[in-house]
Amino acid sequence: MTAWPIAELLPHAGEMILLDAVLEHGPEHAVCSRRVPASGLFHDANGTLPAWMGVELMAQAIAAWAGCQAREAGEPVRLGFLLGTRHYTCNVAAFAPGSELRVEARRDFHDDSGMGVFACRIEAPGVLAEARLTVFSPPDASALFQSGNSPSPATES
């Protein structure tokens, strides 16, 4: 397994990169890590990371998987969009500072147009979050933007 810096796998920069590393990846999955810092862009006043941010952590794990696939094929990392999630559950209200999160994305479906569905989990001692995410990574995002049919920027992942 080749290990790339997470910033080379995601179409994000700075504080928008919420994962620390890819621990493992393969044709059907990626496992990433995140040590929750004591403060950050999305943290509550008490230093915790709200559980609803788990959806973005999962989306970034999918993006990291796609980035690994692209790098292995010698292709550039492509822009992707989070279209939605089904059945997000989390047994905690927030992720505590210092928590070591294991974020896994496993591909259930993916087609040549760029549509995909992933089963995702976040695990840490005493923490379990699960969801199915639907994503879209068009083969040519610039053509999508030029057509005027682009997804809302709020759904970008």
For the segment 117-130, what is each residue's pLDDT rounded down to a tens digit? Answer: 999 999 999 999 99
d(CA 47, CA 51): 12
Mean pLDDT of the chain: 90
Cβ neighbours of residue 101 under 8 Å, at least 6 residues apart?
33, 34, 35, 36, 57, 95, 122, 123, 124, 127
Confidence bin at 157 (pLDDT 50/70/90): very low
Q: Looking at residue 3, what is its pLDDT?
A: 81
The number of CA neighbours under 13 Å toward the Cβ of 117 is 7
Share of residues in the chain with pLDDT > 90 (%): 76
- Nearest by Cα to 98 from 143, 156, 36: 36
pLDDT tens-digit series, residues 9-28: 998 888 899 999 999 999 99
Q: Place 86 in a pLDDT band, splitting at 50, 70 and 90.
A: confident
**Predicted local distance difference test score (pLDDT) of residue 1:** 65
Mean pLDDT over 90-110 rounds to 97
* Residue 7 φ then ψ, to 5°: -65, -20
Percent of the chain scoring above 70 in pLDDT: 89
Q: Is the pLDDT of residue 140 over 80?
A: no
The DSSP call for residue 99 is -
Report yes or no on whether pTM surpasses 0.85: yes
Q: Is 105 exposed, middle or buried (0-12, 13-18, 19+ CB in 10 A)?
A: buried
Q: What is the mean pLDDT of residues 69-79?
A: 93
Q: What is the dihedral of CA 155, 69, 54, 141, to 10 degrees?
A: -10
DSSP string for 42-55: T--TTSPEEGGGHH
More confident residue, 138 or 58: 58
CATH code of the region 18-155 = 3.10.129.10
Average pLDDT of 86-110? Answer: 96
- Residue 110: what pLDDT? 87
Residue the block writes with tokens 């550039």: 76
